[in-house]
Amino acid sequence: YSDSRGLFYESWNKKRYDNCIPEKIEFVQDNQSESNLGVLRGLHYQIEPCPQGKLVRCIKGSIFDVAVDIRKNSSTFSKWVGLELNENNKKQLWIPKGFAHGFLTLAKSAEVLYKASGFWDKSCERTIQWDDPTVNIEWPLEILEDKYPLLSEKDSNADSLKELAKRNEVF
């Protein structure tokens, strides 16, 4: 609800999500990140025994948010979906267990909040190359004006999806 005083909206309602998501979700951790223009985070996920589902939203700025299916027996294995999440459209993206997640910051800065259904566990964390040709994500890189996305060391050294699948580190 928006009027001259400002804005109110319900960002989480268990009853509504229980009707939309086939599995029972219990969120155990909330995470927040702030990123500058051109920062690309991901593609991250956690393997068993500590997988995570994530409900992602951008409360300041704008991001291009991506989920990649990494369930090896799925008909959509290695396929991706992406959409812009920003402070104006108030959209959220549900990323179930068995999917990798990443985003590119499209604004001067962006704040991203996500609810996680599992606890973070470094030993279970895996990263797929953001530009993996098997996945072939169409990142909106034109926003960077011919510059390379800004990556963390972990993301710069990520494995390909094929390598991770070969090691049985996918779902």
- Please identify which of the residues 17, 45, 101, 114 carries the catalytic annotation: 114
Residue type at position 155: D
How far are the Cα atoms of 14, 24, 82, 95 from residue 20, in angstroms, in the given order? 10, 10, 19, 13
Edge-to-edge order in the sheet of strand 29-36: 29-36, 109-116, 54-60, 92-95
Active-site residue, 17 included = no
Among residues 159, 150, 53, 56, the alpha carbon closest in space to that of 104 is found at 150
Closest of 57, 77, 64, 59 to residue 164, by C-alpha: 77
d(CA 24, CA 117): 10
Q: Select from 46, 10, 9 the least CA-distant residue to 28.
A: 46
Beta bridge partners of 109: 36
Instruction: Tell me the sheet residues that pair with 111.
Output: 34, 60
* Token digits of residue 165: 């699948």
Looking at 9, 44, 45, 101, which residue is catalytic?
Answer: 44
Catalytic residues: 44, 114
